[in-house]
Amino acid sequence: MRPPRVAFFPDSFHEVNGVAHTSRNFLAFAERRDLPFLCVRAGGTAPRSTPLEITGNLQTLELPRSGASIQMEKDLDFDPLFWRHAGLIHRALRAFQPDVIHITGPSELGIFGAYFAWKLGIPLAASWHTNVHEYAARRLAWLTAHLGHDAGGNLDRGIEHGALSATLWFYSLAKVLFAPNGELCEMLETATHRPCHLMQRGVDTQLFSPVHRTRPVDERPSAPFTLGFVGRLSVEKNVALLPRIARKLAATSPRPIRFLIVGQGAEQEALARELPGAKFAGVLRGHALAEAYANMDLLVFPSHTDTFGNVVLEALASGVPAIVTPDGGPKYIIQEGKTGHIVADEQFSGAIEGLIENPIRLARMRLASRAYAQTCTWDAVFDRIYEAYKTLPAPISADHS
């Protein structure tokens, strides 16, 4: 059987986040396998001389966002005027003739993908990458906090429920769904009555590796112990826990603690005030990021909203165990007591202190973390996606003009 022709509409591609990281790897997989693949994505605000680029079976249609774009994050926008590109996208799809359109969420790209799937009679696939309903509630917490415990709590729940209902309706437009963990798959199947398949994440174990460590593994009581955080510095990542951990460990840890924080976001200024000794490395990529991971002693990832947690897997590949919460996707990556710990917020400092006091156990965790990460490949992830595509019906001849 010939491989399906896939038109992929990622929410994010060039940015620094899990969706963009997965999207770039999906494109690279298609290129390695010489699969017919059209990637329709947003990029910058300046138009390219040739929006559509074709290299063998790989096609990319990169379209600029307008000056009217609304900033969702420091490096992620939503363009309400993206519809001006409708003609270009329509022509590219008609020429490519996809068997499936795959979207990654309710962005302007996802809305376009869903619209053209309906318009052209092409089966729609959708992967769930972000718990947008939880993000919505946390982003408005500054407002609901002023309404009192009962009223604020009710509004929080109302915002989250409303956002979830709208998102589930959008995902129900697809014929097949993907999610990064079993918990989300079960929720999506129940709510949308669509089949949902696991779409986990892979890791480049050559790039992310303990060999990039430039500082010794120093267990002397006077040697600083480096706690790392990698990700967006925003409220939904629960970064406010980091200063609390620092204060508690300052009073109880047998070794001095220092933080290495990689990323940017709205909470950076507040964190810099409360973590005066921390190193804020900003956004890192490639070898610089790999070296930052390898020089950590532990990754501290307190998010309750991540659906997977790419950074956790990258840390494990670097030989760095991780401490995560029991909520969301990271708990499915960590093997409790073997590659890290899964604990509640108030238990983070105790878990960290326990590993500082037991360097032999920490050394075993480093080895186990690396060994686990070496079993996680991107090829295996995307091979499963293509298997799921086989369950989709054939495109129908339709153009709802």
Q: How far is CA 374 from the centre of its chain?
A: 20
Predicted local confidence at residue 165, as pLDDT: 86
Check if the beta carbon of residue 196 is closer than 8 Å to that of residue 391: no
Q: Residue 310 and residue 213: Cα distance in Å, rounded?
A: 20
Query: To which H or E segment does residue 189 belong?
Result: helix 182-192
Dihedral pair phi/psi, residue 330, rounded to 5°: -55, -30
Q: Residue 320 and residue 299: Cα distance in Å, rounded?
A: 7
Closest CA to 306 of 333, 280, 279, 284: 333
The domain locations on the chain are 6-202+378-389, 210-373
pLDDT in tens, 234-244: 988 999 999 99
DSSP 237: G
pLDDT in tens, 273-318: 999 999 999 999 999 999 999 999 999 999 998 888 899 999 999 9
Predicted local confidence at residue 86, as pLDDT: 95
Predicted local confidence at residue 51, as pLDDT: 86
> 210-373 maps to which CATH number?
3.40.50.2000
Q: Residue 145 and residue 142: Cα distance in Å, rounded?
A: 5
SS3 253: coil
Predicted local confidence at residue 49, as pLDDT: 66
Q: Residue 189 and residue 195: Cα distance in Å, rounded?
A: 6
Torsion of CA 94, 98, 103, 109, to 10 degrees: -20
CB atoms within 10 A of CB 42: 26
Spell out, as residue ranges, where the chain has pLDDT lower than 70: 44-49, 72-75, 131-160, 397-401
> 6-202+378-389 maps to which CATH number?
3.40.50.2000
- Assess whether the region 6-202+378-389 and the region 210-373 belong to the same CATH fold: yes
Predicted local confidence at residue 397, as pLDDT: 66
User: If you write DSSP's letter for every residue of 52-67 in order, what string do you get?
Assistant: EEEETTEEEEEEPPPT
